[in-house]
Structure 1
Amino acid sequence: MPGSAVSYFSVLLGIFAKGLTAVIQTQQTVMAAVGDKASLHCQLMETKDVRQVTWQKISPRGDANVAIYNKRFGETVNSGFKDKVEFEDAGLQNSSIVIINVMEQDEGCYLCLFNSYPEGALTGRTCLQVYELHQPVLHVRGLNSTGEVVVSCSATGRPAPTVTLRATQADRNLTDYDNVSVSNTNGTVTVTTTAVLSALHVNSTQVGCRVGVLSGPQIEVLETIPGLKPTSADDSDDDVNVHVVSRRHLYSLVPVLLLIISVAAVIVVRFRRETHTSLTHKEPQRDEMPGNTLKAESSLLTHENMELRKRTPPEGRQPNSNSNSPSAPARFVLD
């Protein structure tokens, strides 16, 4: 009998608690990306004599008071949540708080307690789920041996993001999908999806990569693949066009080559003229060579020898010893 009474009391308590919870309207799960803001809202659906609204965060170590709005003292944010939480709507029937710069440690469930008289605390519950999603990276590896393009896209998030590749044009097909997931040390997961783009033509094609986490907003990036190699019978026509373009380029180079040859010819002619002129100016200087100098010195010595011969008497005539002295007066002898 006592056991049945306890069970009956527990059932009544559960119904009463469920009824009190139903009085408060709130969002069961709120999602926010890392670095964004998260708004938690509670609304009392019945008119009650509420004296105070208290926000708490559920923790394994015990519920912690986050913020309080009192009819008499106004708004108060707990010291452990300052610069992190602020009131968005401070009221006794509606209450909202905003978590700024959401981080992983902010994830969890929060309680909003409407302390009324005489019912006591009417409690609502809402949970914050934090996700992380980074900008995806789209790679195009280029044409392979079969004339197809290999496209891959990588995205990192928490929890594991979904990665979807698509071609923007209806006649393009993406086949041979391959997905690889790698868990990182910070709790995030990197997912890489690879596919092959077939049915290629000369016209440009756009491929897109769309990523998302849970029910949060999705991110999409696009990339254009220009100048794809054709796989149809139009290859021969394109080869002809390539040859025509090459000939046009060759014809455009002929005037340039002629100009270069003309300039080179002018430079060679001027160089030869300058060389001939310099050699002509150097010819008069040959008289100054050592051989000509010896001839001049020899002629000078010959002239000096002739002068000496004129001054020297012949060997048969001996000059008077007194020839150099003045002549003596003539003497007359009387007999």
Structure 2
Amino acid sequence: MTSRALLRFSSCESLNFPSTMQHAAVISCVFISSLLHTGQFALIETKETVWAAVGDQASLSCRLTEDKDVLQITWQKVLPNGEKNLATYTKKFGSRVSAGLEEKMDFQYESLQSCSMVIRKVMEEDEGCYRCLFNTYPNGALIGWTCLKLYVLPTELHGPFITISRSNSPPGSVVTCSATGRPVPMVTLTVLHQNLSFSHYNTSRVSNTNGTVTSTTTALLSALSSTQVECSVLVQTAAFRELLVTVPGLTDSSDGLDEDFESDDKDERWLVTVAMGLLVVFLCGAFGVLSMLWFKKKHQNR
């Protein structure tokens, strides 16, 4: 509840009504106070959140939705201990940027009903919320809020990579998805089946020496049949990648493994049999050739 609403709430409580009527009157007063207070913000059109990449330029703007007699426009940054004036504009003195911020900020305006503040080469310390104040006559100050959010363009993004292994206790398939990037990649595993979900969901992060971070998400999937799994990687608002894999079910994967091992053994026995047969044929052939040569030589000697 806002400070203005609280003041009106105290005034309503002091009304001399019976308890039931007083309760209803207090609720009505708070409701009307909220409408009046939010109505003040509704007069100003602005973006709730403005995104900008680190090092880029950000533009914060405010516009009155109704014509007012504006005497001065002020841009402020909201700090934990109060507000800091950044720039002002008046009819008499024009636009003025606070000392030390002339190269950093630029106050732009189309009229006294609309204005923008441009922040050049935004850095982490520029992130936060800002207020635009339209000092009007006779309404006083009309205030708008907008918040600046920053993201770092990824210089590296590797992945996602998915590995699947078998778990006996608890039974199921362990699905692991990882990605390495800068800034920190957000890795999410999703089961593409309406009635199935992961269990033992866990995410860990490891910082690498080159400044990148490896995010790894591991989860257990207990499904009897093959199921599609999606791994998505999000690097703030700058990059998004996804990878689809099919995870064998408990029955499918166990049968498949048995069949693979069995087929490998059969293949090996077949190869040995063929090799032995060829060796026997070769030896028989060699014995036959040697026998023919021996008989021929013996016949010539006669």
| TM-score, structure 1 normalization | 0.47
Call closer, same or farther: CA 1:153–1:190 in 2, change over 3 Å. closer
Which residue of structure 1 aligns with residue 297 of structure 2?
none
The answer (yes or no) to whether the contact 2:46–2:63 under 8 Å persists in 1 is no
The answer (yes or no) to whether the contact 1:172–1:197 under 8 Å persists in 2 is no
Call closer, same or farther: CA 1:114–1:33 in 2, change over 3 Å. closer
Matched, 1:178 2:197: no
Letter in 2 for 1:24: L
Which residue of structure 1 aligns with residue 190 of structure 2?
166
Which residue of structure 2 aligns with residue 30 of structure 1?
49
The answer (yes or no) to whether the contact 1:209–1:222 under 8 Å persists in 2 is yes
Per the alignment, in what secondary structure is the counterpart of residue 111 of structure 2?
coil
Quote how far apart the aligned CAs of 1:94 are.
1.4
Which residue of structure 1 aligns with residue 3 of structure 2?
none
Call closer, same or farther: CA 1:139–1:177 in 2, change over 3 Å. farther
The answer (yes or no) to whether the contact 1:55–1:65 under 8 Å persists in 2 is yes
Call closer, same or farther: CA 1:197–1:57 in 2, change over 3 Å. same
Higher Rg: 1
Per-residue CA distance 1:110-165 (angstroms, 9 max, x = gap): 2322244x43753313142536687696453442465834314579999x997531
Quote how far apart the aligned CAs of 1:173 are.
5.5
> How do 1:1-335 residues align onto structure 2 when only pairs under 5 Å count?
18=37, 21-22=40-41, 24-27=43-46, 29-30=48-49, 32=51, 35=54, 38-59=58-79, 63-71=83-91, 74-87=94-107, 89-116=109-136, 118-119=137-138, 121-128=140-147, 130=149, 138-144=160-166, 146=168, 148-153=173-178, 164-167=188-191, 170=193, 175-179=198-202, 193-197=217-221, 199=223, 207-211=230-234, 217=237, 220-223=240-243, 231-235=253-257, 238=260, 242=264
Corresponding pairs, count: 234
Q: Distance in 2 between matches of 1:241 and 1:151?
A: 28
Per-residue CA distance 1:291-316 (angstroms, 9 max, x = gap): xxxxxxxxxxxxxxxxxxxxxxxxxx
Runs of at least 5 residues in structure 2 that lack an aligned partner in the other structure: 1-6, 12-32, 208-212, 276-302
Q: Distance in 1 between matches of 2:245 and 2:185?
A: 25
Q: Distance in 2 between matches of 1:248 and 1:98?
A: 77
Identify the structure with the greater strand proportion: 2
The answer (yes or no) to whether the contact 1:153–1:165 under 8 Å persists in 2 is no
Call closer, same or farther: CA 1:84–1:121 in 2, change over 3 Å. farther
The answer (yes or no) to whether the contact 1:75–1:90 under 8 Å persists in 2 is no
The answer (yes or no) to whether the contact 1:172–1:200 under 8 Å persists in 2 is no
Q: Distance in 2 between matches of 1:127 and 1:89?
A: 17
Which residue of structure 2 aligns with residue 330 of structure 1?
none
Per-residue CA distance 1:186-208 (angstroms, 9 max, x = gap): xxx9986420345598x996631
Call closer, same or farther: CA 1:75–1:181 in 2, change over 3 Å. farther
Call closer, same or farther: CA 1:198–1:34 in 2, change over 3 Å. farther
Letter in 2 for 1:49: D
Letter in 2 for 1:233: D
The answer (yes or no) to whether the contact 1:154–1:193 under 8 Å persists in 2 is no
Call closer, same or farther: CA 1:246–1:66 in 2, change over 3 Å. farther
Call closer, same or farther: CA 1:85–1:175 in 2, change over 3 Å. same
Per-residue CA distance 1:174-225 (angstroms, 9 max, x = gap): 532333578x9xxxx9986420345598x99663135587xxx596433455
CA RMSD of aligned residues (A): 5.5
Runs of at least 5 residues in structure 1 that lack an aligned partner in the other structure: 1-6, 254-335
Letter in 2 for 1:176: S
Call closer, same or farther: CA 1:197–1:22 in 2, change over 3 Å. closer
Call closer, same or farther: CA 1:208–1:84 in 2, change over 3 Å. farther
The answer (yes or no) to whether the contact 1:26–1:125 under 8 Å persists in 2 is yes
Q: Which moves more between the two structures, 95-104 or 18-27?
A: 18-27
Q: Distance in 2 between matches of 1:249 and 1:81?
A: 81
- Runs of 4+ in structure 1 deviating by more than 6 angstroms, as ranges, are 133-137, 154-158, 226-229, 243-250
